[in-house]
Amino acid sequence: MVLVGTVAFEGYREWTESLGPDREWFIQLVQARTYQVIQSFTAEHDGMALPLRYDIQLVLLPGSVDPEAFINGVKEALKPYSPTPVRVALLCGEIPSVLSKVRKYLELGDYYEECEPREIAVAHADLNYFTHMTSRDGPYSAYVEVMKLINTYVESLADIAVVQYLGGDNLVAITEPSNLDAVIQELIKPNHIKVGVGISHIPRKAFSAAATALTRIREGGRRIKYLVLREG
């Protein structure tokens, strides 16, 4: 099973309010830095991080990772950059329902479980001809089109996937392989969407396979709407 966890910044709201009214530029800098550190450290362990709401970020790790070592390591890596204390919880369970348990454990301090290796499915979706859309309608109109899709997917997939905007015209839905068919069918409802899917017990490899699948769809002239690849 993949380790699903969160890195949470304690007292984050209180910290932001302590900065005074001219603060948003600095908050954005801190959020970018802490996400960079978490993503880099997680990738070194064959995992992936998703920013979610930035004060609580999601990490996906292989079940083979030493959870205690990861928690200690990521907290040490964040020390020069985090404005608040950090708590980490790493749990075993199905996505996204396992995340409902995180808050309970974070209240107790750092927490982890040890998981057996198990596959995760990553569905990476993007819009066809997004560059042309941006040139034709302007960057904000193109951005609005992506946000409409994100809002639709967040609501329709809430019970079976974690949906995250990745920038540009890219979004990802993380789910269990048992729910993958339902996720794909929801993602491809719009005519202008293609979906690359990666399945692996190593999250970083699942993301890589999903990106490879998207490339193959493009190279094939977009004749298919989705492609699933499995990595060991």
**Cis bond upstream, residue 96 (ω within 30):** yes
Answer for the pair 123, 176: CB distance below 8 angstroms, yes or no.
no
Asked if the domains at 3-112 and 120-230 fall in one CATH topology, the answer is yes
Distance CA 78, CA 1 (A): 26
Distance CA 175, CA 160 (A): 6
For the 120-230 domain, the top CATH level (class) is alpha beta
Where do the structural domains in the chain lie, given as residue ranges?
3-112, 120-230
Q: Which parts of the chain fold into alpha helices (H)? A: 12-17, 24-44, 67-78, 102-106, 130-137, 139-156, 180-187, 203-219
Answer for the pair 129, 218: CB distance below 8 angstroms, yes or no.
no
Distance CA 48, CA 57 (A): 11
Sign of the alpha-carbon torsion through 206, 6, 1, 226: negative
Query: Is beta strand 170-175 parallel, antiparallel or unpaired with respect to 48-50?
Result: unpaired
Answer for the pair 146, 127: CB distance below 8 angstroms, yes or no.
yes
**CATH fold group of domain 3-112:** Alpha-Beta Plaits (3.30.70)
| CA gyration radius, the chain | 18
Distance CA 95, CA 34 (A): 24
Residue-by-residue pLDDT tens, the chain, 232 positions: 688 999 999 999 999 999 999 999 999 999 999 999 999 999 999 999 999 999 999 999 999 999 999 999 999 999 999 999 999 999 988 999 988 887 777 777 888 888 888 899 999 999 888 888 889 999 999 999 999 999 999 999 999 999 999 999 999 999 999 999 999 999 999 989 999 999 999 999 999 999 999 999 999 988 899 999 999 7
Distance CA 34, CA 20 (A): 21
pTM: 0.94
